[in-house]
Amino acid sequence: MSSRSVQYSTNPLLASKTPIWRSQLIVACIALGFIGLVVRTAYVQVVGNAFFRKQGIVRFERQLDIPANRGRILDRKGMILASSVPMPSIWASPEEMDADEAQLRALAQLLEMPLSELQTKVSDTRRKHVWLRRQLDDVTGKKIKELSIHGIYTTMEYKRMYPQGEAAAHVVGFTNVENIGQEGVELTFNTHLGGKNGTRRVIKNGQGQVVEGVGDMVPPVEGKDLQLSIDSKVQYFAYQRLREAVLENKAAAGSVVVLDAQTGDILALANYPSYTPDKRSNLSGAQLRNRALTDTFEPGSTMKPFIIGLAMEKGLVKPETLIDTAPGKLNMYGMTITDAHPHGTLSVSEVIQKSSNIGTVKIAMRIPPKDMWEMYTQVGFGQKPQVPFPGAVTGRLRPYKSWRPMEQATMSYGYGLSTSLFQLARAYSMFARDGEMAAVSLLKRQDKVAGVRVMSTEHALQVRNMLHMVTGPGGTAPKAQTMGYSVGGKTGTAHKLDGKIYAEKKYQGFFVGMAPIDNPRIVVAVMIDEPSNGRYFGGDVAAPVFSQIVQQTLRMLEVQPDMTVKPEVVAKAEVESF
């Protein structure tokens, strides 16, 4: 039978009555569903409100940091050594990226980034935020903004700038891209300089764009300025003269320390090789080290004035006491101590002037080891420098009870102990301050600080007079003489240790002294490491640097010349003993 002939209106199924319970079940299900929605709504809005609010915050509310402006680093006269300037940083949201190849190519060129690297970064949709380049210059940032690429954003960040460049790099140090100190003063005083970032809460839409602010903004606490004792002009001049000396003598490195003898302020800490703080690619550890504070060496003949001063304090000798140094060799405990030239009989003053090892040893062996150790300790050898700087070394000075007689002898002329150039400069400030030792400072101080007496004024002045003789005719450092100013100091030349033995042809030459000699204003220490251009004695490689720095620094400090005629420089310095 054809389906078209069926009469649906007369179908027996339609004629049957629907059970009442079925309609009731349907109504009940609808009612239960509605009640369930009401209960769920009440739970979401009332009972579980905290959970769902938290989920909303997680998905759409963000806390943004408001960077604090890092404090400036200033020199003693207020010149800027480090400051922060706002610069644009570029980032991408891969989910939002919409750029053609021409736009990406132009962006890569402005970012100085390979196109393939840029494409890899902006195609990583697993990340919502990708840094492309941080702390660009304003011109480049503006050009990138003009590309109008959807998904590329600009954020302003602070970048650290260092106007003094490589001259002050080892003092100031640097920060990383997050503005956290990594080296030097930037690291030591990071909390003081850094301040505290502020915060603000915002609502972002699905595309990561800020829609509105939420709640109160917490303003940033700006970093505080820091004023150092460093004089930027003295620092720059010292660095330039040091650099010239290192290159001229074909040396491996060099360091200079300049102290204000009256206040204890550090006026300069210069090192070469150096680096530019805001251009640090391909740097080596040798460039980063502040050698004046972190490197140690055996100080050689620069130790002799402390022995002579101590012997006079003990009443063992006077400046005019005669010491027999003939025949230029002295056999002790199976070893031979020599002078570069035989001098015969010398006065104590001439022992310093001629830098006689034999004369110094004969005097030192009259001194109890304990007294000698105490003198070295009181002037800072073997002690941690009280200066806030990362990596400042202690040096080595063994307890006197472990000294053998031969070790006491060699330590009297600077072998068997080690020190940094900074420690050596501070130790010599005792002679400049008439026998007192005062704390030094990397932060500016206004007045002369009280010191601790180590040596009587009488004997400190007598040693200072001997140091003046060193720079005159017959001394080991006539090249230290300075136009218009009287100077005094001591040369030192030492073999370098190569493992556990002394290298035959590796030396360090140094000179440490003060000026003007009658009322010293500054103490200057110079070290030239591994000079290899035919000269290596401290009087030849370090003393000329001392002379130039003293003359320029005293003029900058407006110290009146105390000499009216040009000092007569001996044409050829006498060869110095070790």
Q: Is residue 367 pLDDT above 60, yes or no?
A: yes
One DSSP character per residue, 260-297 reads ETTT-BEEEEEEES--BTTB-TT--HHHH--HHHH--B
Tell me which residue of 229, 84, 68 sits closest to 163, measured CA to CA: 84
- Residue 471: pLDDT band (50, 70, 90) is very high
- Of 89, 93, 229, 301, the catalytic one is 301
| CA proximity to 455, closest of 538, 371, 522 | 371
* pLDDT at residue 509 in the model: 95
In this predicted structure, what is the pLDDT of residue 293?
95
Measure CA of the first residue to CA of the last residue in the chain; give whole Å: 132
Could you give the domains of the chain? 64-227 (3.90.1310.10), 232-276+288-556 (3.40.710.10)
Angle at 103 between CA 98 and CA 104, to 5 degrees: 80
CA distance 360 to 81: 44
Q: Would you state the pLDDT for residue 59? A: 54
pLDDT at 40: 75
Give mean pLDDT, residues 522-546.
95
**Nearest alpha carbon to residue 130 among 141, 118, 120, 121:** 121
pLDDT digits 0-9 by tens, 40-72:
777 767 766 676 666 555 555 556 667 788 999
Q: What is the pLDDT of residue 148?
A: 84
Phi, psi (5° rounding) for residue 41? -65, -45
The three-class DSSP label of residue 122 is helix
**CA dihedral sign, ordered 293, 299, 302, 308:** positive
pLDDT in tens, 173-209: 999 888 899 999 999 999 999 888 777 665 655 555 5
For residue 78, give the 3-state DSSP assignment: coil
pLDDT digits (tens, 9 = 90+) for 294-327: 999 999 999 999 999 999 999 999 999 999 999 9
Strands (E), 210-263: 210-218, 226-227, 253-260
Q: Which residues contact 419 (CB under 8 A, 6 or more apart)?
A: 296, 297, 299, 381, 395, 427
Among 280, 66, 62, smallest CA distance to 162 is for 280
Q: How does the average pLDDT of the chain come out, rounded?
A: 87
Distance of alpha carbon 25 from its chain centroid, rounded?
83
pLDDT at 258: 98
Q: How many angstroms from the chain centroid is the CA of residue 53?
A: 48
Q: Supply the pLDDT for residue 386.
A: 85
Q: For residues 262 and 102, give the distance between their C-alpha atoms in angstroms, rounded to a whole number.
A: 66
- Joined together, the tokens standing for residue 410 give 């060699």
Closest CA to 432 of 307, 360, 521, 547: 521
Mean pLDDT to the nearest integer, 480-491: 95
C-alpha to C-alpha distance for 102 and 96, rounded to whole angstroms? 17
More confident residue, 490 or 28: 490
Q: What's the pLDDT at 570?
A: 46
Distances (CA, A) of 334 to 330, 337, 356, 359, 405: 10, 10, 20, 18, 11
pLDDT at 545: 97
pLDDT at 577: 43
Q: Does position 568 have pLDDT exceeding 70, yes or no? A: no
Q: What is the pLDDT averaged over residues 229-254? A: 96
C-alpha to C-alpha distance for 21 and 530, rounded to whole angstroms: 107
Q: Is 301 a catalytic residue?
A: yes
Residue keyed to tokens 């989920």: 55
- Classify burial at 183, counting beta carbons within 10 Å of its beta carbon; exposed 0-12, middle 13-18, buried 19 or more: buried
Number of helices (H), then strands (E), belonging to the chain: the values are 21, 21
CB 275 within 8 Å of CB 166: yes
The residue-averaged pLDDT of 413-436 equals 95
Give Cβ neighbours of residue 46 (< 8 Å, ≥ 6 apart): none
What local confidence, expressed as pLDDT, does residue 11 receive?
62
Q: Tell me whether strands 253-260 and 522-529 are parallel, antiparallel or unpaired.
A: antiparallel
**Segment 92-118 mean pLDDT:** 86
pLDDT bucket at 8, cuts 50 / 70 / 90 = low
Residue (of 96, 396, 331, 63) closest to 199 by Cα position: 63
What pLDDT digit, counting tens, does each position of 378-387 carry? 999 999 998 8
pLDDT at 16 over 80: no
C-alpha angle 291-499-535 in degrees, rounded to nearest 5: 60
> What are phi and psi for residue 354, nearest 5 degrees?
-90, -10
Please report how many Cα atoms fall inside a 13 Å half-sphere around the Cα of residue 461, on the Cβ side: 5
Q: Which two tokens stand for residue 218?
A: 């917490």
What per-residue confidence (pLDDT) applies to 64?
A: 63
- The two tokens of residue 303 are 């130790």
